[in-house]
Amino acid sequence: MDLTFSDRYDFQPEWNDNLKNVKPVKVYCKYLTYPERERCKNIFAMQENDGTKKIQVKMDQPQMLNFAIEKIEGLKVNGKEIKSADDLLASPRLTGLTNEIYEFVLEKEAKGQTDLIN
């Protein structure tokens, strides 16, 4: 079997009317490898009041963004270019943008398991 998978994608967020901008913010991402995805998982064992045991999995948002984002173009905050996930995560006023990018990456990761080019 000869398969070809897409391994990268880009995203233009809607945050702050970005799409109406002459030079919109563009985020270039890659799909996570299996080990990268596993490193983003935080697994919690929980017990309900009735004694029922549950497992809860939460994804580490900063870790996932650091793995997925290859570069960011078109974003400056107070004159400083935001070019990476680290830059984005270090900027306290970009929570809305960060959450939008994270939700998109999470959706792409879920769909990416079956995202064949050919």
Residue 91, domain member (yes or no): yes
The Cα 115–Cα 64 span in angstroms is: 19
Residue 50, domain member (yes or no): yes
How much is the pTM?
Answer: 0.85
Residue 107, domain member (yes or no): yes
Coil vs helix vs strand at 46: strand
Residue 51, domain member (yes or no): yes
Residue 2, domain member (yes or no): no
Residue 78, domain member (yes or no): yes
- pLDDT at position 116 is 54
Residue 118, domain member (yes or no): no
More confident residue, 101 or 113: 101
Q: How many domains does the chain have?
A: 1
Give the structural domain span for 34. 8-112
Q: To the nearest whole number, what is the mean pLDDT of the chain?
A: 91
Residue 73, domain member (yes or no): yes
